[in-house]
Amino acid sequence: MKAVRVHGYQEDPKLDDIPEPKLQGPLDVIIKVGGAGVCRTDLHIINGDWKDIQNPDLPYVIGHENAGWVHEVGEGVTNVKVGDTVILHPQPSCGLCVMCRYGRDMQCTGDAFFPGLSNNDGGMAEYLRTTARACVKLNPETNPADVAALADAGITAYHAVRKAVPLLFPGTTAVVQGAGGLGHIGIQALAALTATKIIVVDKNPAALELAKQIGADETVVADGNHVAAVQELTGGGATVVFDFVAEQGAELDAWQMTGPAGYQFMLGYGGEFTAPTLDFVAGEKNVIGNIVGTYNDLAELMVLAQAGKVTLHTKQYPLDSALDALHDLDAGKVRGRAILVP
C-alpha cells in the first residue's frame, strides 16, 4: 500500500510502498482509510518535537486523525463489522486501568498506543491498524473524508469546551484565539453548548469571516492591538480564553485577555508560559491544559456533526499530494482542515 512516512526529522516525509497492516490481537481492527486529517502536530512530529516523548522507530507512518471503513476484524470484535463506516479515537486504550475506568482514555496507563505518534503506523496510508475500542460507528452515508479531522482536532476542541460549559452561563464571555483547524470547531461547539458571548481573535481576515458565519459574536484582528481590544469588549478580560495557538507569544496574550477569576484553556503548544505568581493570587486566574479528549467526547461530537451543528471546513488532497498539504498548512494557506484522501 501507499503510505506517508517520516524517515528523518526536519526533512520532508516520503510516499512509500509498504506492506498492509496485519491483525495482531483479537480486538484489532483494520481500517480502509477514507480520510486522514493533516494536523499541526504532524509538523511538530516532522520537526522532532515528539521524538523523546513517543520514541518511534523510523521510518514510520504519520496521521492520527482518521476515518474510513472496517476492512478486517479480530476474532474478539463484536461492536463493528466489515463494511461499517467509522471514525477512530486517536488513542486505542486498554479499558482496564483506573484511568480508563474513569473514562479518561488519554491518561490510559495500560496497553495504549497512538497510531501516527507512538511506535505505531498512522493513517496517512491506504490501511490502518487500530482496535475495537477506538471505533465510533457512523451513519453509513457519511463520507469519512468529511469528518476525519474531528477524530483529533474535533475532540480536542470539544473536550475543552465541554469542560468549560459550567463556567459559560448567560452573561459570560469566551475568547477563541486562533480560528483555524481546531478553533473553528471550538467556535461551533461553544455556539451549540453554551449561551456565552463568543469573541474570536485571528490574524487572518478569511478565518475571521468564517468565524462570523459559524457562531462568533465579535471578531478581532490580531494586529498587535488585539489584547486591548478584547479587554475593552469584555470589560477587563474574558471568563474563559481558549488558546488554540499558544506559541510565539500568543500564550501570553491569552493570559492578558483572561479576566479576574477567569480561565485560560491551553490547547495549542510550542510556546512557553510564564506569569508573576502575584497575578495568580491577586487575580485568582486559572490555566488549564487540554489534550485530545475521551471516547465519549468523540461520540457526542459526532451527534452534533451528524445533526449539522458542527461542520468541518476542509480542503482535500490526494494521498500523493501529502507534501503539498503539509507545506500549505505550515504556510497558513489552509482554511479549516487539510484532509488526505487515499
- 3 state SS of 16: strand
Alpha helices in 165-265, H assignment, sequence order = 183-193, 205-214, 226-234, 250-257
Domain positions in the chain are: 2-152+292-340, 156-289
Bridge-based pairing of strands 28-38 and 337-341 is: antiparallel
Which cell numbers hold the place of 83?
Answer: 463494511
Bridge-based pairing of strands 2-6 and 60-61 is: antiparallel
Determine the topology of domain 156-289 in CATH: Rossmann fold (3.40.50)
- Give the dihedral sign, CA 288/65/316/59: positive
Residue 155 identity:
I
Determine the topology of domain 2-152+292-340 in CATH: Quinone Oxidoreductase; Chain A, domain 1 (3.90.180)
- pLDDT for residue 153: 87
Which cell numbers hold the place of 243?
Answer: 488558546
CA distance 105 to 247: 26
The segments of the chain whose pLDDT lies below 70 read none
Cell 462570523 sits on residue: 212
222 CB-near residues (< 8 Å, 6+ apart): 177, 201, 202, 203, 253
- Residue 130: which of 94, 100, 83, 88 has the closest Cα? 88
Whether the upstream peptide bond of residue 59 has omega within 30° of 0, thus cis, is yes
